[in-house]
């Protein structure tokens, strides 16, 4: 065990950090599965497990744009909406044609990610020359446009193909036996509930590894250089537009994955669930967990997903307590006095001291 510990210590800091993060996710997953199998987990918490995963994916993906690229985006829920509707639409069409659930759900994830990524590229080309407040306003407008367009969109399917309308279902002119899939404000109902906690954890880990590998690559260093000083980055030959679009499209595609996971976890998908408030909630995850801190974003997403549900017993005071907890957590994360306290009392230092004592005791023995 001592030799293994020394080998781990020889790894670079980034690799050790990633091993600890992925290992922590797997340990948490194992504990949750044990509690479920033993009947020790409440139904409320079981219903939140998949939600923790897709909100974790959303937080990590937005951190790529906000924390690592340094661009404020307020329309991230719009990409989630695109992924949710695209994935649900594909599953509804193929539910009677493709019997293999694993293949169908995998294709739904890939199609949802591709469609959200495509919109990310399109939006990126148009708006990423903007910065700061202007970019935030335009991305906010994009999210609201997506939500409102899908809110009045009707899509049906029959032997002649796919039909679109923005009036009502009668305007689709479907053949007898045709199926209305998207029903305007009612959204898509009857989506197969293929999302599971295991799939959610797997997708969360894949999302984390994708972004970590991007950050540690040459492209990631270019993206962070743009964040730190875009004028200096451009002066040394970095293609700012290219790397901004790269980060924005990857972030959007991963948000699409979260959307597919969301749409296959509930019975009905409605565009009104992906409005401004959802984008702000995801931004809160990122800010609270730390800009550029992927692990912190996941932890914040999990805590803030569970907390409101466990405060329901307080009824009218639930959101007041929730707001107070947010303020306290923000102060604890960013106030200089608490930053210094955490440095002097970190769990990492305590763990290292315990390991050193164990190694020393074995040598003396």
CB 109 within 8 Å of CB 45: no
Task: Please give the Cα distance from 359 to 365 (Å, whole number).
Answer: 10
Cα dihedral 207, 209, 215, 218 in deg (nearest 10): -120
- pLDDT at position 344, please? 72
Task: Please give the Cα distance from 297 to 290 (Å, whole number).
Answer: 7
- pLDDT at position 61, please? 94
User: Residue 206 has which token pair?
Assistant: 């894949």
Cα dihedral 136, 277, 186, 94 in deg (nearest 10): 70
Of 178, 182, 205, nearest in space to 270 by CA: 182
- pLDDT at position 348, please? 64
CATH for 48-334 (1.10.472, 1.10.3470, 1.10.260, 1.20.120): 1.10.3470
3-state secondary structure of 161: strand
- pLDDT at position 234, please? 85
Q: What does the H/E/C string look like for 43-98? A: HHHHHHHHHHHHHHHHHHHHHHHHHHCCCCCCCHHHHHHHHHHHHHHHHHHHCCCC
In the chain, % helix, strand, coil (3-state, to 5) comes to: 75, 5, 20
User: Residue 162 has which token pair?
Assistant: 């796919």
Of 333, 279, 280, 325, nearest in space to 306 by CA: 325
Task: Please give the Cα distance from 13 to 278 (Å, whole number).
Answer: 34
282-296 burial, b at 16+ Cβ within 10 Å, e below that, comes to bbbbbbbbbebbbbb
pLDDT tens string for the chain (365 positions)?
A: 445 544 555 667 778 888 888 999 999 999 999 999 988 888 888 888 999 999 999 999 999 999 898 888 888 999 999 999 999 999 988 888 888 889 999 999 999 999 999 999 988 888 777 777 788 888 888 889 998 998 888 888 887 888 888 888 878 888 777 788 888 888 888 888 889 999 999 999 999 999 999 998 999 899 999 888 888 888 888 888 888 899 999 999 999 999 999 999 987 889 888 988 889 889 988 988 888 888 889 998 998 888 877 777 776 777 777 778 778 777 776 677 767 776 776 666 666 777 777 777 777 76
91 sits in the region (left: phi over 0; alpha: psi -120 to 50; else beta) called alpha
In 134-273, the DSSP E strands lie at 154-158, 161-165, 179-183, 188-189, 268-269
- pLDDT at position 346, please? 64
Angle, CA of 345, 350 and 351, to the nearest 5°? 145
Name the CA radius of gyration of the chain, rounded: 23
Task: Please give the Cα distance from 71 to 249 (Å, whole number).
Answer: 13
For the entire predicted model, the pTM comes to 0.86
Task: Please give the Cα distance from 310 to 319 (Å, whole number).
Answer: 11
List residues bridging with 156 in a β-sheet.
163, 180
75-106 burial, b at 16+ Cβ within 10 Å, e below that, comes to bbbbbbbbbbbbbbbbbbeeeeeeeeeeebbe
Which residue's entry shows tokens 């499209």?
249
Residue extents of the structural domains in the chain = 1-41, 48-334
Alpha helices in 290-364 (DSSP H): 294-310, 318-334, 336-344, 347-364
Task: Please give the Cα distance from 7 to 359 (Å, whole number).
Answer: 14
User: Residue 94 has which token pair?
Assistant: 């193929």
CB 170 within 8 Å of CB 20: no
- pLDDT at position 325, please? 76
């Amino acid at each position: 065990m001592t030799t293994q510990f020394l080998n781990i210590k020889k790894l670079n800091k980034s690799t050790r950090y990633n091993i600890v993060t992925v290992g922590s996710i797997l340990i948490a997953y194992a504990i949750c599965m044990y509690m479920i199998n033993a009947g020790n987990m409440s139904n409320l918490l079981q219903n939140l497990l998949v939600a923790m995963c897709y909100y974790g994916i959303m937080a990590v993906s937005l951190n790529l744009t906000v924390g690592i690229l340094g661009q404020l985006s307020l329309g991230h829920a719009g990409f989630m909406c695109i992924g949710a509707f695209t994935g649900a639409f594909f599953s509804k069409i193929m539910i009677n044609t493709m019997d293999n659930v694993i293949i169908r759900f995998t294709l739904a994830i890939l199609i949802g990610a591709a469609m959200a990524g495509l919109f990310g590229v399109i939006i990126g080309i148009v708006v990423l020359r903007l910065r700061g407040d202007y970019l935030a306003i335009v991305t906010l407008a994009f999210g609201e446009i997506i939500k409102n367009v899908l809110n009045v969109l009707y899509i049906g399917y029959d032997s002649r193909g796919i039909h679109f309308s923005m009036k009502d279902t009668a305007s689709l002119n479907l053949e007898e036996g045709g199926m209305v899939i998207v029903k305007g404000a009612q959204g898509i109902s009857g989506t197969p509930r293929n999302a599971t906690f295991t799939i959610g954890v797997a997708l969360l880990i894949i999302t984390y590894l994708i972004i970590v590998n991007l950050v540690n690559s040459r492209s990631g260093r270019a993206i962070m250089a743009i964040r730190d000083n875009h004028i200096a980055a451009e002066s040394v030959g970095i293609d700012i537009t290219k790397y901004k679009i790269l980060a924005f499209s990857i972030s959007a595609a991963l948000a699409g994955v979260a959307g597919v996971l969301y749409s296959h976890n509930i019975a009905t998908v409605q565009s009104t669930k992906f409005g401004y408030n959802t984008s702000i909630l995801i931004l809160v995850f990122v800010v609270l967990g730390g800009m550029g801190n992927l692990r912190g974003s996941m932890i914040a997403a999990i805590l803030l997903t569970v907390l409101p549900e466990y405060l329901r017993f307080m009824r009218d005071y639930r959101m007041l307590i929730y707001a107070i907890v947010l303020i306290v957590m923000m102060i604890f994360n960013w106030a200089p006095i608490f930053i210094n306290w955490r440095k002097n009392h970190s769990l990492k230092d305590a763990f290292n001291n315990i390991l050193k004592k164990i190694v020393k005791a074995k040598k003396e023995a």
